Structure 1
Amino acid sequence: MDKLSHQSQNEVTRPKTIGYLMSRFPKISETFILYEILELERLGLNIEVFPLIRQSESVMHPEAQAVVARAHYSTVLSFAVFVTQLYWLKTRPRAYLSSWWHAVLGNWRSRKFLLRACVIVPQAAWIAREMQSRSVQHIHAHWATHPALAAYVAHKLTDIPYSFTAHAHDIYVERPMLEEKIRQASFVVTISDYNRKLLQQLYGIVAADKVLVIHCGIDPAVFHQPAPKPSSNTFTIVCVASLQDYKGIPYLVQACAHLKAAGIQFRCMLIGEGEDRPEIEKQITQLGVANEVVLLGHQQRSQVHQWLGQADVMVMPSIVTGSGKQEGIPVALMEALAMEVPVVATEISGIPELIEPEQTGLLVPQRDGHALATALLRLYHSPALGRQLGSAGRSKVLGEFNLLKNTESLYELLTQDWSVPEAETQIHQASPSAPHINNNERSVKA
């Protein structure tokens, strides 16, 4: 009896194992996933990482190296993946064939998504088998598109409950199978109230019963108040963003041209990399700001911290593209405000949930280089306004966009037993140790 009791106690105290799915890893522009994983592990969970694609990056955060070393990568055209298809055909034929049926039926309108689904299903079958062998008790995916499909298939094959986080263009542009993914999930997290309202408008009660808000966040121990900057006549602008269309970098370059024409001595440091770099370099030359605008490429988190410590302002000139692609709430804005750097951003998607106009930052219309320049000139001529906005912004971030607090909210959800019917009612209840979950708003506030 003592031996059995000891075994039972070990089962109770053993950390819960969560299978984490994402599209690409390690991806330097998606470090919020890396630091969420590390924080969940610090809270006591065992995280098994299953990227769909091994991302090759020229720059990698040091903390990612250990996670990459233990991540479970797969290649679709491999013997191991082929064998798992036979395994599921033999052991769970209806579930396996049903997964294919739903994936094809749910993606047939988009050739791109249909072809990707034909890769995801066999890959997810392999992942499902690996998760079984590693005693995974819950699956959580980041992004509502391919990773959520992989989680959906793994759930159908193994009955392991799953959830996913919806961010931005994964729900703004194309939404294959999204209603079915939400319906079958134990819960769905999204990073802004803007997103939650969008999903409720699209899917009604299905989304209302499952979707809640947990903001992304920053580690206040890393992005803290900097030492006072030495006085300088050069106004330093920093922008941390990938060089892609929806980031709106050309409008920041236009704003820089306006500043130069106004006789302002400044420098603009662009941190990030992307497919639009050649066009941006050409624009910088054409507008005559090559001496002021510097493309720094990818930078590690410690280097971003150093640049923000020198910044007079952080700019995020994001736009909504013709296809509907746009930001969620950029973590880079949170990092800047945590360091009391004033922010100028565009008034799109969930950004106003972080940047309250004239309170925690300045908001301008999208696609308007002149409006960006006007806001920057305000901060250039009024350092006191910048200090006021930065201080209020830091308070906002520490209260609502804090990685440590917000990951605790996710931890509370992941550690529930979703295999019992009563668990779904718990999504609308706050335990004494957890942040309040508002039953009307379905929003977790840290």
Structure 2
Amino acid sequence: MTKKVLFLTSSYPFGKGESFINPELNTLSKTAQLIVMPIYPRGILKEDRINNDNIEYWNLRLFSFRYLLPFLFFAIFHPNLLLKLILHCIDKSFFKTLRNIILIPKNIFVFNKIKNLDIDFIYAHWLSAPSQFALLLNLITNIPFGITGHRWDLIDANNFDLKFKYAKFIRLISYKSTSLLPKSIQKKYQKKIYNIYLGIPISVMYQKKIKKTDAHIRLLCIGNLIPVKGHQYLINAINELHRRGYKVFLDLIGSGDLETEIKNQIIDLQLKNYINVLGYMNHSQVQDELKSGKYNIYCQPSVDLGNGFHEGIPVSLMEAMSVGIPCIATNTGSISELIINCETGLLVEDKNSVALAEAIQRLLTDENLSTTLIENAFKKVSIDFNQELNNQNLAKLITSKDVCEG
């Protein structure tokens, strides 16, 4: 019998974020009927959202006058249950408690919508508002739920004790993510924690010898122009390479708060003719760039900002590895789960422009090393970061009999 799953997101199918949800829906909808509902719908409806007969989208605002009457009836006829919901919203932080409590009116409204739909399971992305929403629905309906945790939501640590206690499973997207959890949570709920990478589509085989369409030595870096991406260190590395006589070019794809600062740095170093800030590109355009044959090396100069603010496993890095571009990255966050130094790529310490320059120079002068890295990198992403296989494992976890029947 086909399972029915309420799939909770932060904003998807609205806005630019949560693009990783598309492939999950595509895989999960093959074996289950899905109701997809964002907790905070914001932004423009995604044109590339997954649409098929097994997916229904609910667009319910966080606040609406429609929620008032059901909330009042619930308060009158189920005062003890309402008190229980409120108590299960309390966190050590007042602001987190408030963020949790404001979900209750919408939660009760959704309860009334689903109570006759025979929902088998609730699945929530993020250990923040969506999982709190799932917890509250579980308290009202006893429908089991599971959670995917990412990175910043692990640092936020909102109401973890109760979420981990009641959830059937918590899926984390890297092994590094586990270390961000409080030690007490790791120890107490280790049997509930699963590590399943997000991954990428593995459909086009790499070419050991990419046919170069550009006579120049050209590097690529993809990422929002924000502090954690460490672009300034890569720009300084390009300057160092020029000082050594390597007139390399660099394309930066992305936009963000540091765009003006980065452009000024390029001008100050007199690299305007060598470094191009290409701005924002959608995923299809990025794919075209990666497969264009223009690039000798891909660089990910990310930095650790402290207090858990660092990279996860950048999708663009996986994608570069999948199309046969040798990669250099910094040893921050979860990147070492993807890049094994001198095996699937080169790892250098973060915030070190000279180390970046030396790694780039090494790949430019050692063709055998580049070839080895390309071959091993493709094997790595094909096995550990294969999106379809990983999403199938997630789907099995969500729709398994033991999970759905509690």
In the superposition, the TM-score normalised over structure 2's length comes to 0.89
Shift of 1:220: 1.0
Deviates more, 1:232-241 or 1:88-97: 88-97
Residues 244 and 235 (structure 1), Cα distance of their counterparts in 2 relative to 1, 3 Å cut: same
Residues 92 and 138 (structure 1), Cα distance of their counterparts in 2 relative to 1, 3 Å cut: farther
Measure the CA separation in 2 of the matches of 1:373 and 1:130: 58
Tell me the alpha carbon deviations over residues 373-400 of structure 1, each in whole angstroms, 9 at most, x when there is no partner.
2211212222332222111111011111
Is 2:83 aligned against 1:97? Answer: yes
Q: Secondary structure of the equivalent of 2:303?
A: coil
Corresponding position of 2:34: 47
Measure the CA separation in 1 of the matches of 2:115 and 2:304: 41
Deviates more, 1:119-128 or 1:309-318: 119-128
Is 2:31 aligned against 1:19? Answer: no
Is 2:201 aligned against 1:225? Answer: no
Tell me the alpha carbon deviations over residues 46-76 of structure 1, each in whole angstroms, 9 at most, x when there is no partner.
222111233436xx87532749x95322223
Residues 320 and 95 (structure 1), Cα distance of their counterparts in 2 relative to 1, 3 Å cut: farther
Measure the CA separation in 1 of the matches of 2:272 and 2:115: 55
Measure the CA separation in 1 of the matches of 2:17 and 2:360: 25
Residues 418 and 247 (structure 1), Cα distance of their counterparts in 2 relative to 1, 3 Å cut: farther
Shift of 1:418: 4.7
Deviates more, 1:411-420 or 1:336-345: 411-420
Shift of 1:144: 1.2
Q: 1:417 aligns with which of 398, 401, 406?
A: 401
- One-letter code of the match for 2:137? A
- One-letter code of the match for 2:21? I
Q: Give the number of the structure whose residues are more often helix, by fraction.
A: 1
Corresponding position of 2:229: 247
Q: Secondary structure of the equivalent of 1:24?
A: coil
Q: 1:332 aligns with which of 312, 316, 332?
A: 316
Corresponding position of 1:203: 185
Aligned residues: 400
- One-letter code of the match for 1:124? N
Task: Answer whether contact 1:186 1:418 (CA < 8 A) is retained.
Answer: no
Deviates more, 1:113-122 or 1:333-342: 113-122
Residues 257 and 21 (structure 1), Cα distance of their counterparts in 2 relative to 1, 3 Å cut: farther
Measure the CA separation in 2 of the matches of 1:377 and 1:87: 69
Shift of 1:207: 2.3
Measure the CA separation in 2 of the matches of 1:192 and 1:274: 26
1:157-306 aligned at under 5 Å gives the runs: 157-171=140-154, 173-199=155-181, 201-221=183-203, 224-225=205-206, 228-230=210-212, 232-306=214-288
1:61-210 aligned at under 5 Å gives the runs: 62-64=47-49, 66=51, 71-90=57-76, 92-103=78-89, 105-106=90-91, 108-109=92-93, 111=95, 113-132=96-115, 134-171=117-154, 173-199=155-181, 201-210=183-192
Measure the CA separation in 1 of the matches of 2:231 and 2:351: 10
- Superposition CA RMSD, Å: 2.6
Shift of 1:90: 4.5
Measure the CA separation in 2 of the matches of 1:232 and 1:358: 26
- One-letter code of the match for 1:386? S
Shift of 1:364: 0.8
Task: Answer whether contact 2:63 2:106 (CA < 8 A) is retained.
Answer: no
Task: Answer whether contact 1:27 1:55 (CA < 8 A) is retained.
Answer: yes
Residues 374 and 298 (structure 1), Cα distance of their counterparts in 2 relative to 1, 3 Å cut: same
- One-letter code of the match for 1:312? N
Measure the CA separation in 2 of the matches of 1:66 and 1:420: 24
Corresponding position of 1:443: none
Deviates more, 1:264-273 or 1:353-362: 264-273
- Among all aligned residue pairs of Structure 1 and Structure 2, give the percentage whose two residues are the same amino acid: 27
Shift of 1:16: 1.5
Shift of 1:358: 0.5
Measure the CA separation in 2 of the matches of 1:286 and 1:205: 51
Is 2:383 aligned against 1:396? Answer: no
Q: Secondary structure of the equivalent of 1:83?
A: helix
Q: Secondary structure of the equivalent of 2:181?
A: helix
Is 2:300 aligned against 1:316? Answer: yes
Tell me the alpha carbon deviations over residues 300-325 of structure 1, each in whole angstroms, 9 at most, x when there is no partner.
22211111123222222222213321
Where does the alignment leave 5 or more consecutive residues of structure 2 unmatched? Answer: none
Q: Secondary structure of the equivalent of 1:259?
A: helix
Residues 374 and 62 (structure 1), Cα distance of their counterparts in 2 relative to 1, 3 Å cut: farther
Shift of 1:92: 4.2
- One-letter code of the match for 2:389? K
Task: Answer whether contact 2:127 2:158 (CA < 8 A) is retained.
Answer: no
